[in-house]
Amino acid sequence: MPFITRNPILRETAHTLAPTTLLYALYVQFHGDYGPGGGFQAGVIFSVGLILYALTYGLERAQAVLSRRTAEVLSAFGVLLYALTGVAAMLRGAAFLDYSALAQQPLSGQHIGIMAIELGVGVTIVGVVMLIFYLLTDTGEAG
Amino acid sequence: MSGQLLGCALLTLSAVAAVIIARTDNLFSAALLAGMSSLLVAALFLSLDAPDVAFTEAAVGAGVSTIFFLTTIAATGRQYAYAPSRRVPGLVLAAATGWLLFYSMLDFPWLGDASLALHDHVARYYIEHSAAEVGPPNVVTSVLASYRGLDTLGEVCVIFAAGVGVMIVLGRFGHSGRAGQSSRRGEE
């Protein structure tokens, strides 16, 4: 394993930065309506936090947090959540992805819809980025 | 004026990084310079008042893609076998593309010209109606998530497809192809 570092400075820095990065990703995810960011950026930042954890403590411990199988499921689940939000609007009599129909008030419907689809985007990004990272590091071990 | 100076400085540094990337045969420094170049472009986007795009560029270009490059280098090796025979056609191609881009730039409107047709069509509508129709103070979010929700769904599908593609190509090698290996062992 070339990735587990013994350097105490790197270890401590990553030890502090990894959970902060994950927390920041959640902030970006749920604050996208008010500031810059959204599901896409949040998903990438969350994955970076997990990758930092993997680079410091090794792949095994990272895969105990988020296994390859979970990453596969998450990448598909996000797309499904997004599309089902659109279908939910259709079931309530509006057009596909017209969130105004999701609640009594059109604006709260929009808010719910945007939250749901941003979550779908973020979940897919985390799944895909972690999947690609696991696949790339896996071939590395063999060579 | 200071904005223009900053833009020139960032673009010049980015171009210097690109030239070094093209000339070096050390893939490790090329990957780090590509990340640095992305960060410079992200700063440029920020100076153009596009924080959402800058955020994405910094997270994807400087962060994740650099990590992907480095993990690939860790798996394959740091040195790049130079192919000098490709250099002259490449130079001609790069010069021609550069000339074409410069030539089309002569027709460009001034940056931030409010009288452009581009800013008079849907952009004006989104800015004026977003607060009443969608709600979020960040108009970028309401355009991406609500007005253009279908486009964003397509984008997420593309990312999912990219993940599936990488899984198909890389999943066959290394230990992750456990299922494939065990089935092969089963056949033996």
pLDDT, one tens digit per residue, over A36-60 is: 888 999 999 999 999 999 988 888 8
Bigger pLDDT: B177 vs A33: A33
The alpha-carbon gap from A52 to the nearest alpha carbon of chain B, in Å, equals 10
A141 and B74 in contact by Cβ < 8 A? no
CB neighbour list of residue A71: distance below 8 Å, 6 or more residues apart: A126, A127, A128, A130, A131, A134
Q: Which residues of A touch B66 (CB under 8 A)?
A: none
Q: A118 — contact with chain B (CB < 8 Å)?
A: yes
Q: Which residues of B touch A97 (CB under 8 A)?
A: 146, 149-150, 153
A34 and B142 in contact by Cβ < 8 A? no
- Average pLDDT of chain B is 84
Instruction: Give B159-172 pLDDT, tens digit per residue.
Output: 999 999 999 988 76
What crossing angle do the helices spanning A68-91 and A106-142 adopt, rounded to 10°? 160
- Reply yes or no on whether the pLDDT at B183 is more than 60: no
Instruction: Give B36-64 pLDDT, tens digit per residue.
Output: 999 999 999 999 888 999 999 999 999 99
Bigger pLDDT: B115 vs B44: B44
Report how far residue B151's alpha carbon sits from residue B144's, in angstroms, rounded to the nearest whole number: 8
Quick one: pLDDT at residue B85? 58
Q: B181 — contact with chain A (CB < 8 Å)?
A: no
Fill in the amino acid letter for A123. V
Bigger pLDDT: B83 vs A59: A59
Q: Any alpha helices (H) in chain B, and if so which ranges?
A: 2-23, 27-47, 51-56, 65-76, 87-105, 122-133, 139-142, 149-170, 178-187
% residues pLDDT > 70 (chain B) = 87
Quick one: pLDDT at residue A4? 67
- Reply yes or no on whether the pLDDT at A125 is more than 70: yes
Which of B71, B160, B170 faces A128 most closely, judged by CB atoms? B160
Q: B51 — contact with chain A (CB < 8 Å)?
A: yes
- Reply yes or no on whether the pLDDT at A19 is more than 80: yes
Quick one: pLDDT at residue B98? 93
Q: Which residues of A touch B157 (CB under 8 A)?
A: 79
**Cβ within 8 Å of B, A 88-117:** 96-97, 99, 106-107, 110-111, 113-114, 117
A3 domain-assigned? no
Do residues B63 and A28 lie in contact, with contact meaning Cβ atoms separated by under 8 Å? no
Quick one: pLDDT at residue B179? 44
**Cβ within 8 Å of B, A 2-61:** 2-3, 28, 32-38, 40-41, 44-45, 47-48, 51
Q: B165 — contact with chain A (CB < 8 Å)?
A: no
Provide the number of CB pairs (under 8 Å) joining chain A to chain B.
156
Q: Which residues of A touch B52 (CB under 8 A)?
A: 36-38, 41
Do residues A91 and B186 lie in contact, with contact meaning Cβ atoms separated by under 8 Å? no
Do residues A128 and B160 lie in contact, with contact meaning Cβ atoms separated by under 8 Å? yes
% residues pLDDT > 70 (chain A) = 93
Quick one: pLDDT at residue B87? 72
A2 domain-assigned? no
Quick one: pLDDT at residue A3? 52
Find the domain containing A104 and state its range.
Answer: 8-142
Domain count, chain A: 1
**What are the two backbone dihedrals, phi and then psi, of residue B26, each rounded to the nearest 5 degrees?**
-95, 110
Quick one: pLDDT at residue B4? 84
B163 and A127 in contact by Cβ < 8 A? yes
Quick one: pLDDT at residue A12? 87
A19 domain-assigned? yes
Q: Which residues of A touch B151 (CB under 8 A)?
A: none
Residue B114 structure tokens: 């409010």
Half-sphere exposure of A12 (CA within 13 A, CB side): 3
ipTM: 0.89
Instruction: Give A74-84 pLDDT, tens digit per residue.
Output: 999 999 999 99
Which of A3, A36, A78 faces B55 most closely, judged by CB atoms? A36
**Cβ within 8 Å of A, B 130-149:** 133-138, 140-142, 144-146, 149
Quick one: pLDDT at residue A87? 95
Do residues B74 and A140 lie in contact, with contact meaning Cβ atoms separated by under 8 Å? yes
A52 domain-assigned? yes
What crossing angle do the helices spanning A106-142 and A39-57 adopt, rounded to 10°? 30
